[in-house]
Structure 1
Amino acid sequence: MIPLKFDKNKKEKKRINFKVIATGIVAITLIGIVGISIGRFSGTNPIGPGVVLDGITTIESGFNKGFTFLQANIKELINYKKNANEVSKLDKEKEDLKQQVIDLNEKLDEVESLENLKKSLNFIDEKYKENRISASVVAKNDGNWYDSFTIGAGSDDGVKKESIVVNGNGLVGIVYEVSKDYSKAISLLDTKSSVSFKLMKDSKFKGVITQNTNLENKENYKNKGYLQGYMFETSYDVLPGDVIITSGLGLYPEGIPIGEVDKVIDDKNKSMKFVVIKPYVNFKNIDDVTIIEPRNIG
């Protein structure tokens, strides 16, 4: 029994010694850390620069950089969703405004079209105003110029063959074919078209517009969208800038504006006086027209 008791006391002593040693190590470590800190902040370091201090400094520097980065960007990170919602809202408002502009332009175009059609009625004699039809151009020939085109109104609407076509700027052309729902017309640029005109300054000075002239530069004039013609008499006093209108001879009622004289060319060998005319109608863009019932000249 005694040996057993002796062994037990020995083990207890060893356990106590271990606790003492461990406590001492912890105490020494804490004292060292405190010493390092005191030395660093006081300007002296009892153990000098070493591995432990460098490690602490590196860790502290990395921590400070990370904190600075987060501090600089945390606001943007927090507001990211809010900013995204604002951008989406602005895009929606932009699309709404764009559609409003489109709608407004369409309304302005409609108003301008109606004004042009009203203006075209000023060219028509009272006896023709009751037999007029407003319609839109729905198709055209190939190329830049409206030599021929299709109107979205036909016999069901009262359109007849040889009806006169005008718009808010002046004379456009004449209908040559009529179907139930649409009509086909040629403009003054077409070689099959011709119209008698007179000078506004003197109704005695008359001539004919036709693209079938023998002018040297006739193709150049046509490429500009200009009209060509000649005067009935070489003695007629015609000058650039003179306004020409329909004379009332033939199918076209009197007084419809056509354009202004751009150039006068005398051909003394054939005793002809040619004129090049800049039309009032833009034959590159014809949208809405007024169709006038043809004159009964039979």
Structure 2
Amino acid sequence: MKEFFQSPKIKIFLSVLLVLIMLSVFTRNVENNIISTSFNTLTYGMSKVTAAASSDSSSNLSYDELKKENEELKTANRDLRSRLVDYYEVKEENTRLWMFYELKKEHEDYALIPATVLRRDTNDEFGSFTIDKGTDSAITVGDPVMGENGLIGWISEADVYTAKVVTILSPQTSIGAIDKATGDNGIITGSAKYADDNLTMLSKLTSENKIKKGDIITSSGASGIYPKGMVLGEVIEIGYDTYDTSNYAVIKPYDDISSVLNVAVISDFEGQGEILKKESGD
């Protein structure tokens, strides 16, 4: 308050006020009106100045408090953003889990690890891609990979946080398969001839096979690498390979492998590796 009255503006105001008071005492009524008007105008203007000065004084006095409050708000905003990111990650994870809920219900022995496609190998014509889960999530090389509608590949490489998936469109793939309608057996393997059209092949069929268009092909589970009964696709064409003199069927997977975004890795299932153990004598 002492600083307020020592302000130059206040001193000027008080001086002018004193002069006006003296004039009002020694002048006539008409002049008093003029002076009164001038006085009111001046006091109104000065009141604005003093109010502003008072406000500035208040702001200066609360600067530290305002600064502290601002820092607290910044901290709260950072925390809120972090919580929001966590929320979206959990929401996305739950979405992926729900995609494979029915699969888990039908196969309680499956250990499913939902994952998202990080990037695709543009140099691979067979659609291989990298997912955002790796050995840190218990994923190992050879694990089957599911799309929303069926088996679409397997883990070919894995590091701590990512893994590479080779698809059923690739010639690197070899999955024992069976026709659910006829019981005919064959091997699912990819071919450059069909990969661009999101198609694969059921090869090594006998000449007596009864496979027909529309039949559903599933994994046989014979090797112990893939679970039995996983859907691989539907027969759309029957052919004969003159090179190795065998019959084959063209299979259309139920997932568009080139655009799949969410997958589930089967890291464990009942009977996994049993055939391999028997063959190695373990």
Relative distance call for 1:126 and 1:112 in structure 2 (3 A) is closer
Q: Is the 8 A contact 2:189 2:201 kept in 1?
A: yes
Measure, in 1, the Cα distance between the counterparts of 2:243 and 2:128: 34
What letter matches 2:101 in structure 1? Answer: K
User: Is 1:275 the counterpart of 2:249 in the alignment?
Assistant: yes
Q: Which residue of 1 aligns with 2:188?
A: 209
**Would the alpha carbon gap of residues 141 and 279 (structure 1) be closer, same or farther in structure 2, given more than 3 Å must change?**
same
Q: Does the alignment pair 1:121 with 2:104?
A: yes
1:112 Cα deviation from its structure 2 partner: 6.1
For residue 100 of structure 2, give the secondary structure of its aligned residue in structure 1: helix
Matching residue of 2:150: 170
> What is the CA–CA distance in structure 2 between the aligned matches of 1:109 and 1:231, rounded to whole Å?
41
Q: Name the aligned partner's letter for residue 164 of structure 1.
A: P
Quote the offset at 1:245 in angstroms. Answer: 0.5
Is 1:264 matched up with 2:238?
Answer: yes
Pair 211,146 (structure 1): closer, same or farther in 2 beyond 3 Å: closer
Report how far residue 115 of structure 1 moved. Answer: 3.5
Residue 116 and residue 146 in structure 1: after superposition, are their counterparts in 2 closer, same or farther (change >3 A)?
Answer: farther
2:198 — aligned with what? 225
Identity %: 24
Does the 8 A contact of 1:177 with 1:185 survive in 2? yes
Task: Give distance in 2, aligned partners of 1:139 and 1:116.
Answer: 20
Amino acid at match of 2:146: V
Q: Which residue of 2 aligns with 1:241?
A: 214
Q: 2: CA distance between counterparts of 1:110 and 1:159?
A: 17
The SS at the match of 1:119 is: helix
Give the deviation of 1:109 after TM superposition: 8.3
Q: For the residues of structure 2 that align with 1:114 and 1:207, how far apart are their CA atoms?
A: 32
Q: Per the alignment, do residues 180 and 233 of structure 1 end up closer, same or farther by CA in structure 2, a change over 3 Å counting?
A: same
Query: CA 1:191 to 1:267, structure 2 compared with 1: closer, same or farther past 3 Å?
Result: closer
Provide the residue aligned with 1:286 in structure 2. Answer: 260
In the TM superposition, residue 229 of structure 1 has moved relative to its aligned partner by 2.7
Q: Distance in 1 between matches of 2:149 and 2:187?
A: 20
Amino acid aligned to 1:134: P
1:64 is matched with: none
Q: Tell me the alpha carbon deviations over residues 240-295 of structure 1, each in whole angstroms, 9 at most, x when there is no partner.
A: 11110001122111000011111001357854111111111211211111111252
Q: Decide whether aligned partners of structure 1 residues 122 and 198 sit closer, same or farther in structure 2, where only a CA change above 3 A counts.
A: farther
* Alpha carbons of structure 1 residues 157 and 268: separation in structure 2 relative to 1, 3 Å: closer
Deviations 1:96-122, CA, capped at 9 Å, x for gaps: xxxxxxxxxxxx988864432223435
1:162–1:176: 8 Å Cα contact kept in structure 2?
yes
Distance between the aligned counterparts of 1:109 and 1:273, measured in 2?
Answer: 43
- Checking the alignment, whether the CA contact within 8 Å between 1:164 and 1:291 is kept in structure 2 is yes
Distance 2:169 2:123 in 1: 12
Do the aligned partners of residues 147 and 198 (structure 1) sit closer, same or farther apart at CA in structure 2, a change above 3 Å counting?
A: same
Q: Is the 8 A contact 1:261 1:278 kept in 2?
A: yes
| 1-structure distance, mates of 2:242, 2:155 | 36
Tell me the residue number matched to 1:10.
none
Q: In the TM superposition, what are the counterparts of 1:7-156 in structure 2 within 5 Å?
A: 113-121=96-104, 125-127=107-109, 129=110, 131-142=111-122, 147-156=127-136
Give the aligned residue type for 2:251: I
Structure 1 residues 109 and 126, CA gap change in structure 2 (3 angstroms): closer
Q: 1:188 to 1:122 in 2, by over 3 A?
A: farther
TM-score w.r.t. length of structure 2: 0.58
Taking only aligned residues, the RMSD between alpha carbons, in angstroms, comes to 2.8
TM-score by length of 1: 0.55
> How far is 1:143 from its partner?
6.3
Sort the Cα spacing of 1:154 and 1:289 in 2 relative to 1 into closer, same or farther, 3 A: same
Mark the runs of 5 or more structure 2 residues left unpaired by the alignment: 1-90, 278-282
Structure 1 residue 146: Cα displacement = 6.1
